[in-house]
Amino acid sequence: MTLNVLFLAAEAEPFIKIGGLGDVAGALPETIHKISSKIQTGEIVDIRLVLPFHFAIKQKGFKPELLGKFGVKSCQGVIECKVYCSENSGLPVYFLDGDPIDEKSPVYSREPILDGYKFVFFSLAALGLADFLNWRVDILQANDWHTATAIYALKKLSKNVSFLEKTKSILTLHNLPYMGFGVQQALSDYCLPPAKTESLPEWARHSPLPLGLRYADQIIAVSPHYAKEILTPEFGCGLVDFLKTRRKVLDGILNGLDTEKWDPETDPLIAQQFSKNTLSQRLVNKRFLQHQFKLEKRDDIPLLTIVSRMDPQKGIDIALRGLNYLKDLSWQAIILGTGTPSIEDMAKALENQYPDRVRSVISFDNSLAHQLYAGADIFLMPSRYEPCGLSQMISMRYGCIPVARATGGLVDTIKHVSHKINGSTGYLFEKPYPSVFASTLQRALSHFHKPDFWQQLQINGMKIDFSWEKSAQDYIEVYKALTGRKI
């Protein structure tokens, strides 16, 4: 007997990736599938990924098989949904298509109402998929606001659809501030009125994410610390009192990392491969960067890096301002990213201010990102909030020591250097102020000049297992608890 899981997401590698959700939805279902396929006896998890058939996916040349069509009800009539199917490493993947998934629109539109019609249609179509496939759904797992509507609709439809009658729901929360505001009309047009519940603030009763949070059987934040943070005014986005009523079903499971893609021993995109046992070879990567960017070629000057989206959430402005506090110390910096124009301008201004030691690359460059993780000494991650974060995991895996804000998944993954090194892997600072960041970075710079101490820090970080297997197993335990099954 199997435990059936329908996993809904707006994006997933290798089909389409815009942000971190694409990493998670591309890796988590596949890993759960791999773990389950190794089970010899008893129940297994039959997990299936469902995505909108975005135009960007079609442009990439993916050609899944057309399985058939069914109708999705709206207040204006029935809208046709086409079902396509493919596989990714043995994992069944379904693509749902229809008029609301406009062929000319991007994955995420700047117009909330367009995204509203796309993702409300997709969420309802995903529920209809169970009936179409004649496949009982034990667990419906939605991700963020784009698919949270499915959880709200499940409560209304489950009594009338046998394949959903006993379905339990999970909402994985990647980013609380993005609630799906502005899509009320789309919900209304699909006969989904605002929720009649006193627990939600009135302003949140017609937005997908709060509705999903209200009716999910289990809420899983993408790190344990973020699950605690959203219960505080600083991070709760106006939902603190409501979320406290859901505390019993709120938990956190740390995201994993693709350790095959991010492996300094086999990475084809770096100048010199290395491991924790051959750390001396890592210097080749630093020298390569210094040569490429015409920086002074010295091993004893710490090389700092930022690899990030230029967004206020990421706190890049904190680091850029903070570096001015340390202008009398010896360091070099290479900044890679693109995003908010004002932050891009700050990065360019810092390069103009320090032309002998700062380089700003305003672009998305995957190959350079790999080389920066492999060659820089210190990774700067001053996020104002960070539900999980992957960059700090990558940097530690590549022997690049993180200096990061003590928030979200950064707290769960970085062990702060205290008085003794023990198992420490990096440096955390509390307040999102340039002066506090600079003080913490100054401490890291002083430790850089203690080779034995620094090498032990690197080794500690490189030894940590950030692979998806543990996260996947934790999700399987949640599936078992919700359904009362034994696997």
Calculate what percentage of the chain has a pLDDT beyond 70.
98
Check residue 382 and give its pLDDT.
98
pLDDT at 411 over 90: yes
CB atoms within 10 A of CB 60: 12
Q: Which of 2-11, 34-43, 201-210, 419-428 shows the lowest per-residue confidence on average (mean pLDDT)?
A: 34-43
CATH class for the domain made up of 279-463: alpha beta
pLDDT at 38 over 80: no
CB atoms within 10 A of CB 181: 17
- pLDDT interval class at 341 (50, 70, 90): very high
* Three-state secondary structure call for residue 294: coil
Over residues 11-34, the mean pLDDT reads 93
pLDDT averaged over every residue in the chain: 94
* Three-state secondary structure call for residue 94: strand
- pLDDT interval class at 165 (50, 70, 90): confident
Over residues 153-175, the mean pLDDT reads 87
Of residues 427, 464, 430, the one with CA closest to residue 448:
427
DSSP track, 344-364? HHHHHHHHHH-TTTEEEE-S-
More confident residue, 169 or 18: 169
pLDDT digits (tens, 9 = 90+) for 256-286: 999 999 999 999 999 999 999 999 999 999 9
pLDDT digits (tens, 9 = 90+) for 246-258: 999 999 999 999 9
Check residue 61 and give its pLDDT.
85
Whole-structure pTM over 0.85, yes or no? yes
pLDDT at 41 over 90: no
Q: Do domains 2-256+468-483 and 279-463 have the same CATH topology?
A: yes
d(CA 292, CA 368) in angstroms, rounded, equals 11
CB atoms within 10 A of CB 197: 13
Q: Which of 63-67, 122-126, 154-158, 255-259 shows the lowest per-residue confidence on average (mean pLDDT)?
A: 154-158
More confident residue, 442 or 18: 442
Check residue 189 and give its pLDDT.
94
Domain topology for 2-256+468-483: Rossmann fold (3.40.50)
Over residues 160-171, the mean pLDDT reads 86
Q: What is the chain's length?
A: 487
Q: Domain coordinates of the chain in residue numbers?
A: 2-256+468-483, 279-463
Check residue 105 and give its pLDDT.
81
- pLDDT interval class at 470 (50, 70, 90): very high
Dihedral of CA atoms 8, 220, 46, 20 in degrees, nearest 10, equals: 50
Q: Which of 38-52, 163-177, 277-291, 398-412 shows the lowest per-residue confidence on average (mean pLDDT)?
A: 38-52
* Three-state secondary structure call for residue 425: coil
Check residue 40 and give its pLDDT.
58
